[in-house]
């Protein structure tokens, strides 16, 4: 894809989607050191990944977060999009932030509270905010627990669709279905299909996607953007991370 200009990450995503499906790699600063993050980002760019997301539910804050974002920026031209667990997950070195609301949280802090606490910082640093509806699907894993979500049952796709459409009507320009990082199984295909049929904004799906075949199925079901994290982060070596990235990217794009 083309180079991204500052403040243009959302249009980069939109233009990318005109030509096909996108693959975003999530790096959690609590799990990867800056050097490894830089190398994975460099590899990701070579392989054809479209953006790097940085964030996590625990410990992805302050200097630890800044150092990972800087290492990624130094080693690749891919846009870096923050994926914050709260207002602590903001780094001045990032290009954009998924300004997300965990719509099915029971705790207003994760729906509007953290957003209010972080808003001035986003403005001060000139980070591009991209409004996004964030929905936790069973099992939800750490983010479901930390975010005090009432995870949407896997066999209730219409509940997910209703929340997704509400998100769109509230003005959010992306919808993210999240099974939780490291989930045993990704979001069910039927749920992805029903949500996709109902909304008009791009659909992001992540959590538990480990193989190229799973990624292909997720795209076939209707996802526009696929997020992979654990499969790459925990590959065991950089060489294996490259092989895994290639496999996942092929699944998404072919």
Residues that bind ligand 1GP (CB under 6 A): 26, 178, 181-183, 206-209, 227-231
- The least distance separating ligand 1GP from the CB of residue 138, rounded to whole angstroms, comes to 14
**Closest CB to ligand 1GP among 122 and 231?**
231
**Closest CB to ligand 1GP among 64 and 235?**
235
- The least distance separating ligand 1GP from the CB of residue 58, rounded to whole angstroms, comes to 12
**Closest CB to ligand 1GP among 129 and 207?**
207
DSSP codes of every residue in the chain: -PPPPTT-HHHHHHHHHHHS-EEEEEE-TTTS-HHHHHHHHHHHHHHT--EEEE--SSS--HHHHHHHHHHHHHH--S-EEE--SSGGG--TT-SEEEEEEETTBSSHIIIIIHHHHHHHHHHHHTPEEEEEEEEEBTT-HHHHHHTTB-PBPTT-HHHHHHHHHHHHHTT-SEEEEE--TT-SS-S-HHHHHHHHHH-SS-EEEESS--SHHHHHHHHHHT-SEEEE-HHHHTSSSHHHHHHHHHHHHHHHH-
- The least distance separating ligand 1GP from the CB of residue 147, rounded to whole angstroms, comes to 11
Q: Minimal CB distance to ligand 1GP: which residue?
A: 206
- The least distance separating ligand 1GP from the CB of residue 30, rounded to whole angstroms, comes to 12
- The least distance separating ligand 1GP from the CB of residue 5, rounded to whole angstroms, comes to 27
**Closest CB to ligand 1GP among 11 and 58?**
58
| Cα 174 to Cα 156: distance, rounded to the nearest angstrom | 21
- The least distance separating ligand 1GP from the CB of residue 91, rounded to whole angstroms, comes to 17
The answer to whether the peptide bond before residue 139 is cis (omega within 30 degrees of 0) is yes
**Closest CB to ligand 1GP among 24 and 93?**
24
Adjacent-strand bridge partners of 96 = 81, 128
Residue 183 CB partners (closer than 8 Å, separation 6+): 139, 140, 141, 207, 208
| Cα 56 to Cα 146: distance, rounded to the nearest angstrom | 11
**Closest CB to ligand 1GP among 46 and 184?**
184
- The least distance separating ligand 1GP from the CB of residue 86, rounded to whole angstroms, comes to 14
**Closest CB to ligand 1GP among 39 and 244?**
244
């Amino acid at each position: 894809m083309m180079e991204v200009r500052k403040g243009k990450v959302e249009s980069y995503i939109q233009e990318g989607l005109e030509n096909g499906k996108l693959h975003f790699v999530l790096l959690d600063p609590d799990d990867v050191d800056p050097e490894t993050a830089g190398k994975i980002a460099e590899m990701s760019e070579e392989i054809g990944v479209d953006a790097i997301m940085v964030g996590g539910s625990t410990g992805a804050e302050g200097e630890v977060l800044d150092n990972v974002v800087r290492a990624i920026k130094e080693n690749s031209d891919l846009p870096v999009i923050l994926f914050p667990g709260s207002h602590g997950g903001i780094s001045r070195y990032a290009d954009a932030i998924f300004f997300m609301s965990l719509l099915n949280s029971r705790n207003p802090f994760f729906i509007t509270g953290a957003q209010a606490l972080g808003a001035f910082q986003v403005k001060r640093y000139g980070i591009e905010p991209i409004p996004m509806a964030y929905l936790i699907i069973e099992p939800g894993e750490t983010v479901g627990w930390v975010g005090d979500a009432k995870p949407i049952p896997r066999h209730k796709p219409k509940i997910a669709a209703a929340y997704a459409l509400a998100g769109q009507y509230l003005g959010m320009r992306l919808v993210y279905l999240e099974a939780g990082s490291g989930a045993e199984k990704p979001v069910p295909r039927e749920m992805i299909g029903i949500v996709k049929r109902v909304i008009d904004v791009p659909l992001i799906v992540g959590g538990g996607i480990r193989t190229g075949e799973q990624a292909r199925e997720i795209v076939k079901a209707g996802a526009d953007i696929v997020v992979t994290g654990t499969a790459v982060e925990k590959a065991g070596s950089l060489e294996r991370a490259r092989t895994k990235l290639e496999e996942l990217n092929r699944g998404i794009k072919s």
